[in-house]
Amino acid sequence: MRRAVCPGSFDPVTNGHLDIVGRASRLFDEVIVGVLINQSKSGLFTVEERIDMLREVTSSYDNVRVESFRGLLVDFCRAQQASVLIKGLRAVSDFDYELQMAQMNIGLAGVETLFMPTNPLYSFLSSSLVKDVAKWGGDVSAHVPELVREALATRLTQP
């Protein structure tokens, strides 16, 4: 079984994330989307909300499942019996930090990282940017699935 992990914060999932997950699902028998539980950083959405949205928008992929993890990513990979990480690279600016993490992760536990070039449609996209645009009433419908757009609108207009 060739199993890969797509890790991230997914606060919230964007079309850029989905592009990577979908392409990875065609390359591996199983893809596990790993949502980081980061106790030192509270997000706009809870981890449970992020997972619910991810499960909904990946439901058409039979070989994708969504789990959360805390602690080291390599320990999560070991627990899931996955030896490959998939990371999207949007631009060369992503590369330095991603390379550091990839080298650390292979040194720590022999977990390989494969970089996948982001679809150019999404090369400028990030969850932070989407949240900022949505916060000020900008249209994010081209950047996130409809249910995420609705969740952003609801969350950001709550008093």
Query: Is 41 among the residues known to form the active site?
Result: yes
Tell me which residue has tokens 């080291």. Answer: 72
Three-state DSSP state, 5? strand
Contacting ligand PNS (CB under 6 A), which of 4, 5, 6, 7?
7
Backbone angles phi, psi at 22, to 5 degrees: -65, -45
H-assigned helices in 11-137: 15-27, 47-57, 73-79, 92-109, 127-135
Q: Which is nearer to ligand PNS, 8 or 12 (CB)?
A: 8
Q: Which is nearer to ligand PNS, 11 or 30 (CB)?
A: 11
Contacting ligand PNS (CB under 6 A), which of 9, 14, 25, 113?
9
d(CA 77, CA 75): 5
**Is 113 one of the binding residues for ligand PNS (CB under 6 A)?**
no
Query: Catalytic pick from 23, 78, 90, 155?
Result: 90
Q: List, as residue ranges, the binding site for ATP.
A: 9-10, 17, 88-90, 98, 122-128
Q: List, as residue ranges, the binding site for substrate.
A: 9, 41, 73, 87
